[in-house]
Structure formats: C-alpha cells, structure tokens
Amino acid sequence: MSLPVIPAPAHLTLSDNTFTLTSSSGVTAESPELTELAARFVADVQLDCGLTLTGNTGITLALESPQADDVPAAAGVRADGEPVDERHGLEITTEGIRIWGATPEAVYRGLTSLRQLISARLQDAAAVLPAARIVDGPRFAWRGLSLDVVRTFHGPDEVRRIIDMLSLYKLNVLHLHLTDDQGWRVEVPSRPLLTEVGATGAIGDRPGGYYTQAELAELVQYAADRYVTVVPEIDMPGHTSAVFKAYPSLGPDEIHSVDLGNGDSLQLNTLDPGRDETWTFVEEVLDAVIPQFPQSAYVHIGGDETWGMADEDHAAFVEKAAALVRARGKKVVGWQEIARASLDAEDVVQFWLDLDVDSMVQNPDLPTPPEDLLPILVEGLRKAKYDAPKALEQGTKLIVSPVTWLYFDRPHADASSDPDQEEARKHLGLEFYGAASIEHGVSWDPVDSIPGIDSADQVAGVEAAIWCESITTPEDLELMLLPRLPGAAEKAWSRPGTDWPTYAARLAQQSPTWRNRTWTWLHSTEVNWT
Ligand code: TNX
C-alpha cells in the first residue's frame, strides 16, 4: 500500500479509517514558532488544489521530538551549514491530523506530505484522507537542483516557480549557475561592466539580463521561507568569456573559441592565476556576491571544463580561489575537476562526468564534435575518471550529479500523449547525451550506481542539473524539469529501492497540483496521469 506522496516516506502504516478535511478545517500551531508555517500551508493548499481552509481545527502542529529513532539521521552536508534535523511524524486518525518534529523545518516537511495528499484526494471541496502514520526523514541532507540561468536567462518570476517545485518535493538547495561564457547575472558594484556589458548576452540572440541585488534578496528570502537555500556559483577559471567581454584586460591576448555550428561556440579562454589583476577581481567578486546569499554556507567556484589550461595552472587557481572563499567564512564546492587540486576535507566536490568518453566517440548514433575540438575534449574528459577517487582520498564528500541519472538537459525518451508537446520536446535536450525515460530516472541509487562510491558517508548530497543551451522558454524549462524532478527528490530523500509501478502511480497523482499551479510538464505516456 502506498500514498500519493513523493519522495516515499521512510515508514508508513495505513488503516481503513478516514478523516475528511473541508474548507471549514484549518491549522492550530501549538508553538508560536509554527504560526508562519501554518499560514504558508493554507496559502499553498489553495494554490495546489483550490481548497480554501477557513477554520482552525483538524490539523495540529507541534514542536516535539519526532521519536524517529528508526529513521537514521541524514547523511551528507547541509547547504546552510545548520545542524537542522528534518525528521518528523505525521498521523491521520478519525479525530484529525497531527504533525510533529523537533524543528520548524521538520514540521514543514511533514506539512508538505500533507499538501500532496490533500491535492491528490480533493473531490467536491472535501479531501477524504486515509488514516495513516508516517515517520519520515531524508536520506541525504543536501538535495538540490543546479539551474543554468546564463545560456538562457530565467527571470525572478520563473525562478520562484522553480523554488515552488523544489519545496513541494522536499528539495532544499537551489544552486544558481550565475556566470558563464554567454553572460554574467549578478551585480558586483565595483565592477559595473560585468552587468552593463557582461550581462547583455545569452546564447545566440536570446535576451540577456541579470538579477539586481534587490531581486536576489527577494528570491533568496522566497526560497528561505520554503526551506530552500540558494547557493551561488561563480564559474572560474574557465567559462569566463563574459568577464573578458566586460574587462578585456583580464583575458588572454587572443580569444580562442570553436564554433559548434548550432549558434553556440566553445570557449577555450581562462582566467590567469599568475596575474595579480585576476586575484583583485576574484576578491571583489566574492566580497560582492557572498553577502547576497546570506543563507548559504557554501560558495560554488565552478572549476569545470578549463579546456586547454595546463593542469598546474588549474590546480593553482582552484587552491587560491578556495582559500579566498574560506577566508571569508564560507565553505567551498566545485565541479569535480577541482579534485585535481589540493582540497580541504570540508570542501565538497560535485561529481557529474560519469560518461565513458571513448565509447561515446565510437558511438555512430551520437553526433561528432568539430574535428579541431575532439582531441581537447577527449583528453579533458579522460582525466575525469580519476576525479571522484581523488576527492575521496582527500576526505571530501561528493555531491552526486551524474549526467546519466541527473542531467535534465538529456532529451526525453518517452513520448507525450499530447501531440503539440510531442513536437516541441524533440528540440529539447542535448542530443549527444542520448535520451532518457522517466523510469530510467528512478532506476538507480546515489551510492550503489556511482563508480567509486561505496558508502553513504562519502556522499554530501544529490543534485540534479539543468543546462539551458537547448532550452529557451519557461514552458520548455518546466517541460524538462517535470516529471523528472520528483524522481531526483525520491533518490535524494528516500531509502533505496524504488519500485517503478508504485512510483508511477504516485507520480500520476501529482498532475492535479501541476495543473493548478500552471506548471508545464511532459504528459509522458509511461504514466497514467490522473
Ligand atoms: C557541461 S556540467 C558543462 C556545462 C554544459 C553542460 C551541458 C558542467 C560542469 N559543465 O557547461 O552546459 O555540460 O550539459
């Protein structure tokens, strides 16, 4: 027996009794610290399913130890650096509903399960809920989505919609990829040209843009109110062409790029760790960006794909940039290539490259990159095999973000039941990754399926990634995120062993909420949507 809740709870018992929630029901918070959550819940239920809760009975919230000894504490690290316990209890009896946890965040997670239940069961302005007892808590502490806001700029309204999706599935990190070759999306007051010049572009002729400090403050608060921490990424020393466009003196004498033939190009230019000017710049950027993300205990320094840069230069850059982050009281996270440098055990390495480049090159079904690029790519990618072992040897933990399982810019393999969507989705995703189905997205495990990882203690967390080379509109972005995102949440929160038919049934019951929220999702023919 299961309930239409994603991620699957750790412990669930059901009975034949029911409790009926109607618009005259409501929430009582037993502690003042929970009053705000109660109000947020009422607002969310309204948006999820249209039910307006006007009373104050039926649902009770309490700050009390969850007695969840049989749910192990989460593995990994928290992006906000706080030792918050998210374990909670949720009980539905014929008398009413009670949710309890040791922290407001734990209670919020329980309320989130309840939101899903209500939305799935609402009929004729009443939700008949099965009597049940849930004791739950996450498997991993860092559960996120990395969002590329550079290749296509997604404005604050769209980012808020994504934050709503994350929190509905108990994901707690929004990693914003704020800088890349095609644009710079965050204000650095001492370097006005980063936004005046660097922000103007995106891929091809897509509009550029950036978040003002006021907009970011609002976004970060919007996320914090939903227990999502926004982690900023400043990608360096590669992926920095937007910096060189704004401040050419920071760049190489000659810009090297390879045309990819699809309106985009691959940039081979990097910041130079040997120049003082580079470090003045990096310090100014960190000093301006860090205060804009007060909840984040981490700064993501990128470090990926420094094509053609000498290994020693890359390592020197990473080590110095990491030291500057730590000197500002923050911890370091970076793409897996940073493991080639010397790291601290507190740093976190984001593992993404689980592709076997040699077999990709030989696969006739995949497009071949331009000839002058091939050797650079192959050489760079071959080294990737050693990154995870190097990170673990240094005692750092890994954020699990493998292309195979968690890159949402892979094309959808499964068809849509809607012919319009079927046409649209064909252009979405990067062809060379190959397509992936929804079932594929839950048929793996963040420990067992990752070469080199053999215990949950080595995992900092689980993070999906969506890159936007092929994604231009909010609708397309949502179509690639849904229905995949709940699957990533299931992997990050629930214990191993997702059974596809049961999962598909739980997934099917999410669609009423998505419809009410006006989120676009792939009407995948793998699932019998309700
Ligand atoms: C690799 S993943 C990148 C991005 C691209 C992405 C496309 C990573 C750290 N770097 O720059 O957008 O592939 O999936």
Report pLDDT digits (tens) over 38-62.
999 999 999 999 999 999 999 999 9
- Ligand 1 and 305: CB distance under 6 A: yes
Closest approach atom of ligand 1 to CA 430: 14
349 DSSP 8-state letter: E
The HSE-up count of residue 116 (CA atoms within 13 Å, CB side) is: 27
Whole-number pLDDT of residue 68: 63
Give Cα 490 to chain centroid, integer Å. 13
Closest CA to 399 of 348, 330, 453: 348
d(C-alpha 347, C-alpha 333), whole Å: 6
Cα of 205 vs centre of ligand 1, distance in Å, is: 20
Query: Contact, 388 vs 451, CB < 8 A?
Result: yes
In order along its 530 residues, the chain shows pLDDT tens digits of 689 999 999 999 999 999 999 999 999 999 999 999 999 999 999 999 999 999 999 999 999 987 766 899 999 999 999 999 999 999 999 999 999 999 999 999 999 999 999 999 999 999 999 999 999 999 999 999 999 999 999 999 999 999 999 999 999 999 999 999 999 999 999 999 999 999 999 999 999 999 999 999 999 999 999 999 999 999 999 999 999 999 999 999 988 888 777 778 888 899 999 999 999 999 999 999 999 999 999 999 999 999 889 999 999 999 999 999 999 999 999 999 999 999 999 999 999 999 888 887 788 777 777 777 788 888 888 899 999 999 999 999 999 999 999 999 999 999 999 999 999 899 999 988 889 999 999 999 999 999 889 999 999 999 999 999 999 999 999 999 999 999 999 999 999 999 999 999 999 999 999 999 999 999 999 999 99
User: Does 233 sit in the ligand 1 pocket, CB within 6 Å?
Assistant: no
179 forms beta bridges with 184
CA distances from 350 to 334, 338, 391 (A): 6, 9, 10
> Residue of the nearest CA to atom 6 in ligand 1?
467
Test site for ligand 1: of 147, 175, 264, 304, most ligand atoms within 8 A of the Cβ = 304
C-beta 526 within 6 A of ligand 1: no
Domain ranges of the chain: 11-136, 142-516
181: Cβ below 6 Å to ligand 1? no
CB 477 within 8 A of CB 468: yes
DSSP bridge pairs for 230: 174
**Per-residue pLDDT reduced to its tens digit, 339-349:** 999 999 999 99
Nearest C-alpha to atom 14 of ligand 1 is from which residue? 467
Asked if 105 is an active-site residue, the reply is no
Paired residues of 176 in beta bridges: 147, 232
pLDDT tens-digit readout, 174-198: 999 999 999 999 999 999 999 999 9
Amino acid at 402: P
**Secondary structure element (H or E) that encloses residue 466, with its range:** strand 459-466
Residue 304 in contact with ligand 1 by CB distance below 6 A:
yes
Cα atoms in the Cβ-side hemisphere of radius 13 Å centred on 21: 32
Measured distance CA(230)–CA(173) in Å, rounded:
6
Closest ligand 1 atom number to CA of residue 305: 10
Ligand 1 near 258 CB (within 6 A): no
In ligand 1, the atom with minimum distance to the C-alpha of 336 is 9
Residues in the chain: 530
* Residue in the block written with tokens 């370091």: 332
Active-site residue (options: 158, 305, 463, 469): 305
322 CA to centre of ligand 1 in angstroms: 21
3-state SS, residue 307: coil
Could you write out the DSSP letters of every residue in 166-184? HHHTT--EEEEE-EETTEE
For the chain, the average pLDDT equals: 95
d(CA 445, ligand 1 centre) in Å: 22
DSSP code string of 24-88: T-EEEESSGGGHHHHHHHHHHHHHHH-----BS-EEEEEE-----TTSPPPBS--TT-------E
Ligand 1 atom at minimal distance to the Cα of residue 467: 12
99 φ, ψ (degrees, to nearest 5): -125, 130
* Fold of the CATH domain 11-136: Chitobiase; domain 2 (3.30.379)
Residue nearest to atom 7 of ligand 1 (CA): 467
| Ligand 1 atom with the shortest distance to the CA of 468 | 12
pLDDT of res. 507: 98
Helices 213-225 and 156-168 cross at an angle (nearest 10°) of: 20
**Token digits of residue 347:** 């740093």
Mutational test site, ligand 1, from 145, 180, 467, 480, max ligand atoms within 8 Å of CB? 467
461, 142 contact by CB (below 8 A): yes
The class that CATH gives domain 142-516 is alpha beta
What pLDDT sits at residue 256?
Answer: 86
